[in-house]
Amino acid sequence: MNDLSTCGALTVDEPVASRREVVAAALTMVVAAGAAASAQAQASSNLTFSNPPGLSSPPAYSHVVEVNGPHRTVYIAGQTGVSASGKIAEGFRAQAVQVMENLKIALNSVGGDFEHVVKLNSYLTDIEANANEFREVRAQYFTNKSTLPAATLVQVVRLANPNFLLEVEVIAVLPPKV
């Protein structure tokens, strides 16, 4: 036979919640839901999503996401060797320069520059052939050697478009907006 106390059914010995306890519990849930909604609305108002003029207009993501708080954290999507007009630069060096110019545009759109970059993730399709050239181009943009970002360089089989030879994404930290 089934023991009602082990399957979660209410037995005669268990107390039944009073109407006052049910109302108090419901009110607590409403207040908690309101606080959560308020926190979510506040978090949403601290976020800015943008595709700055001078960069291509992607249909499925934002180039720049900015979080404003005690400081601003800015996440910049992986940039490739594509101009705002959609033209892919020819050759590795030209693509590397276009990537850095795109990053510069994105950083400038939020009032930043390369000195604000704290993390740099770089994806190359051929590290052996292009890493040194990439480092040379990168050094032209990260000129302050005392503020070099943490960096990762990874080789990938291919990028979103087989004509892309590299992609670089960054995270930057800036002073708060006033």
pLDDT in tens, 129-154: 999 999 999 999 999 988 899 999 99
List of residues 6+ apart from 11 with CB closer than 8 A: 4, 5
What is the count of structural domains for the chain? Answer: 2
Range of the structural domain that residue 153 is part of: 47-174
What does the pLDDT average to over 52-60? 87
Q: Based on the domain organization, do 35 and 92 belong to the same domain? A: no
Q: Based on the domain organization, do 24 and 66 belong to the same domain? A: no
Residue 47's pLDDT band (cuts 50, 70, 90): confident
Residue 59 contacts residue 40 (beta carbons within 8 Å): no
Residue 20's pLDDT band (cuts 50, 70, 90): low
Predicted pLDDT at 172: 97
Residue 173 contacts residue 145 (beta carbons within 8 Å): no
Q: Based on the domain organization, do 75 and 137 belong to the same domain? A: yes
C-alpha 123/C-alpha 169 separation (Å) is 9
Q: Based on the domain organization, do 81 and 13 belong to the same domain? A: no
Predicted pLDDT at 98: 98
Residue 57's pLDDT band (cuts 50, 70, 90): confident
Q: Based on the domain organization, do 8 and 60 belong to the same domain? A: no
C-alpha 64/C-alpha 73 separation (Å) is 10
Looking up residue 140, the CATH number of its domain turns out to be: 3.30.1330.40
List of residues 6+ apart from 157 with CB closer than 8 A: 125
| pTM for the model | 0.70
